[in-house]
Structure 1
């Protein structure tokens, strides 16, 4: 396939996806937009809690006063699996693991907040489009403030701002950039948003996020019309490709000066594998996904979310978490009006997050994960059925 035909197909897929999303979405909800503007500040603490988490809690409190736009049995199944899994992992952390009650409780609360965000987006108490537009606006302000010297500069030469970490920044600029220009329907705005967020993503210097971004675009382009087996083959190819690029081209060109950071990452990865090998089948408990490097007294969190899940809760925890992720975004089919078209933006977003989960820190069970899962859940019911349910509940 030529570059021109690939570009044409990608543009067609993005345009169609934006049309479907717009037709099944209403106007911008101002309060969701405003909360979204401040949600990105996950690297800025407020009373010891990330500011973005505080904002998320505020949005959840407000959203709890709204009625659900529809009911679907699969939402109840999602809730049941998620709640039982978190309860199991928290109790297991204290009874069989080495976590303190305080560690288990704080971690469980953080996870419940994230799951509740996914659920409220899923039943449309929170409007995903308004939230994403708000987050994108806040992130553009973050970039402007960074280059104006107002926002923090944690990694000189890399766009961080109030994210506090270049890889966290890269994850968010890739993830929100993907969703933001996909939700736009105007071609000129779409091109502008794509160009802007691609540049900002590049400025973060996060190689893994760049890889996730590229492969998510490919999934969005080709993933709509292929079956489950073909998707498995495509996912296997992506895993191989990312591994190949990481091993052979991680220090090429502008990334040639990463010897120091890559050496530290290699030491963290080695210590992580040792801890994983020492972990029993039931895990070590919430808050235990860290390592200590010889000669460095700092705690270093794992750079792999899958290992984090296993060490914190064992096989049952990683299986249940990945199960609800795949059910919401891949296995349960999101539908457009009359079921004629499928919406796969949640799938593409999860591809991006899965790649980032492999090489970055905590990605699964974070705010971006909740948004992707929530979008998947929100399109389980056809729009006309959702409207009928909402009218019935409000008469």
Structure 2
């Protein structure tokens, strides 16, 4: 973070601003940076059957558990409350339907991500260090991919250790936005956007390209708008996203090179929607956001439908509440800041990509956004409380100076 809560404050040097940032306390934690860098490796760990990035997340919270928090969750106790309700709801669903391995695996993964979000929010995991490691790993992934070292699963489209081009597009888009938290100078921010945007284009994920464009528009324009016009801007960004998604699929080479895959996606979407509509009020259970096409199982291509299928509308509303309260700071007090808008923009990437990607909300990327969002909201709340206290003190002093001085009478 590099900006004061009120945008009217003058900017300081990049070094001083970073040191004073509430989200970059202390020196860079190498261990946080290294482990977060491993988050991009979505390959299965030999002999364990778990993705390496999930094991890295478990290791990170295991280490962070022995650290003292540097920030309080005061003002954000809704986070552990919502998380507890989600976990209890999923557990009751599993018990009612019969516990399966998918309930244990996916439920455990959700729990680990929730803890990671809390540790980021309270400073047990250093945000600046984590983002540096994550961004550096994504940057290194590019030359390793084109050198033939990192895996190539999509015929030359940038994936590398991320494994899937849509996952790669989502990750590059979100981190491109988040790393702006650590950039103070305009030319640095511009370079980050250009490099990150180029990486998203190399993944050929149309969804991620459109989502990143929408997020950047929000980042530039939203600061000039009040609440009503921000809602209008959000609606325009969504409409533009849908327009781009629809028209990019028939533009240029896409009309021929992606015709077969787009036809398959349409069949998957139709079957997914049918299953979603038929789901009971509490869903079918964790791991059920899959559908069959010609005898093969396919994951949903819509994360909203996926949550409804797995846990009903209750689960969807619960996860959207986490994104709304943390990403858009609905309960935060005081004036907004550039940092808050960056988190809003990152949340927009997630919300837009969720319309065309199957696994977006229950990901490490989403909970990194949630954790940082809570931390920024806490900073805003603390600044607001200090301002209110200063105003009360000033008012008390003013009233004290106006009180008449009692005259002493001698007898």
By the TM > 0.5 criterion, same fold?
yes
Q: Please name the residue that 1:8 is paired with.
A: none
SS of the residue aligned with 2:284? coil
Q: For 2:234 and 2:370, how far apart are their aligned partners in 1?
A: 18
Is 1:209 matched with 2:208?
yes
How far the C-alpha of 1:339 sits from its partner, in A, is 5.5
Q: Please name the residue that 1:309 is paired with.
A: 307
SS of the residue aligned with 1:209? helix
Q: Please name the residue that 1:284 is paired with.
A: 284
Give TM-score, length-normalised by structure 1.
0.86
Give TM-score, length-normalised by structure 2.
0.83
Written as runs of structure 1 = structure 2, the 5 A alignment for 1:1-395 is 22=18, 23-24=20-21, 25-26=24-25, 27-46=27-46, 47-95=48-96, 97=97, 100-256=99-255, 257-294=257-294, 297-332=295-330, 341=337, 343-382=340-379, 385=382
Structure 1 gaps of 5+ residues are: 1-11, 389-395
Deviations 1:318-364 (A, max 9, x none): 111111221112144667xx867462211111100101111012000
Larger radius of gyration: 2
8 Å CA contact 2:210, 2:245 repeated in 1: no
Q: For 1:177 and 1:340, how far apart are their aligned partners in 2?
A: 21
Structure 2 gaps of 5+ residues are: 1-6, 386-411
Structure 1 residues 301 and 55: CA distance shift in structure 2, 3 A: same
SS of the residue aligned with 1:286? coil
Q: How many residues align?
A: 370
8 Å CA contact 1:32, 1:127 repeated in 2: yes
Deviations 1:290-312 (A, max 9, x none): 00002xx3311111111111111
Q: For 1:110 and 1:306, how far apart are their aligned partners in 2?
A: 19
How far the C-alpha of 1:200 sits from its partner, in A, is 1.4
8 Å CA contact 1:158, 1:203 repeated in 2: yes
SS of the residue aligned with 1:252? coil
8 Å CA contact 1:166, 1:206 repeated in 2: yes
8 Å CA contact 2:103, 2:286 repeated in 1: yes
Q: For 2:132 and 2:110, how far apart are their aligned partners in 1?
A: 24
8 Å CA contact 1:38, 1:52 repeated in 2: yes
Deviations 1:31-76 (A, max 9, x none): 2111122111124444211111111111111111111112233332
RCO higher in 1 or 2 (8 Å CA, sep ≥ 6)?
A: 1
8 Å CA contact 2:335, 2:380 repeated in 1: no
